[in-house]
Amino acid sequence: MLADSEVIHDAQTVQAAVDRVAADIRARLADKYPLVLCVMTGGVVFCGQLLTRLDFPLDFDYLHATRYGPETQGGKISWRSAPWAPVKGRSVLVVDDILDEGVTLAAVKESLLRLGAAEVLTAVFADKLNGRNKPLVADFVGLTVPDRFVFGFGMDAGGTWRNLPAIHAKKEGA
Ligand SMILES: O=P(O)(O)OC[C@H]1O[C@H](OP(=O)(O)OP(=O)(O)O)[C@H](O)[C@@H]1O
Ligand SMILES: Nc1nc2[nH]cnc2c(=O)[nH]1
């Protein structure tokens, strides 16, 4: 997959975006003692790098919801792990790698509100410009990406390459 791809956001651009999102989150949540929840698996790189830039008290936990697996087309959402930390009454920040059709984050947000979260904010590293009327608008966005299959910085290509520091897109027709 790597050979059939092109870099659409290089590592320097990615890092600058993480800095900007961290500053925006700080301005909104620094005095809220938030619970930060990483959506596994794709959210792990963005969330980990974000956490080291958030210089205020917070709690951290994760949840695992997936609907793509190694595929490039989404299916039914599968919950593998709910957050262990209590969310009732908390300001919750959910961190994920990409908002594509928005189905995953909309379901996650709804479920956290049902569990009694006081507010649920969402941060995604990449927002895909696919022209869809998404069920959720992310509160914090790193970068936009074109309507193509993208990978790197947490996002997989058939299960691999989450570790790339830049964002790649599969070449058209590849
Ligand atoms: O906006 P959507 O169309 O719902 O797609 C976005 C979701 O897809 C990816 O997860 P995936 O199901 O691939 O699981 P993964 O994080 O384990 O790769 C990504 O991490 C988001 O959670
Ligand atoms: N790796 C990857 N996962 C996704 N999940 C939803 N859209 C995408 C995408 O473009 N790439």
The CATH number covering residue 149 comes to 3.40.50.2020
Classify residue 158: in a domain, yes or no: yes
| 72 part of a folded domain | no
- Inside any domain, residue 161: yes
With a 6 Å cutoff on the Cβ, whether 108 touches ligand 1 is no
Structure confidence at residue 55 (pLDDT): 97
Query: Each residue's pLDDT tens digit in the chain (174 positions)?
Result: 888 899 999 999 999 999 999 999 999 999 999 999 999 999 999 999 999 999 999 999 999 998 887 777 888 888 888 888 899 999 999 999 999 999 999 999 999 999 999 999 999 999 999 999 999 999 999 999 999 999 999 999 999 999 999 999 988 876
* 45 CB within 6 A, ligand 2: no
Whether 145 is covered by a domain: the verdict is: yes
From 150, 163, 167, 170, the mutation candidate for ligand 2 (largest count of ligand atoms within 8 A of CB) is 150
Owning domain of residue 28: 2-66+77-170
Distance from the alpha carbon of residue 33 to the mean position of ligand 2, in angstroms: 31
Where are the strands (E) in the chain, listed by range?
5-9, 35-40, 59-66, 78-81, 91-99, 119-128, 140-145, 150-151, 167-170
Whether residue 38 is contained in a domain is answered as yes
What ranges in the chain are assigned the alpha helix state H?
A: 11-29, 44-51, 103-114
Query: Which ligand minimizes its atom distance to the CA of 152?
Result: 2
Q: Does residue 161 line the site of ligand 2, with CB under 6 A?
A: no
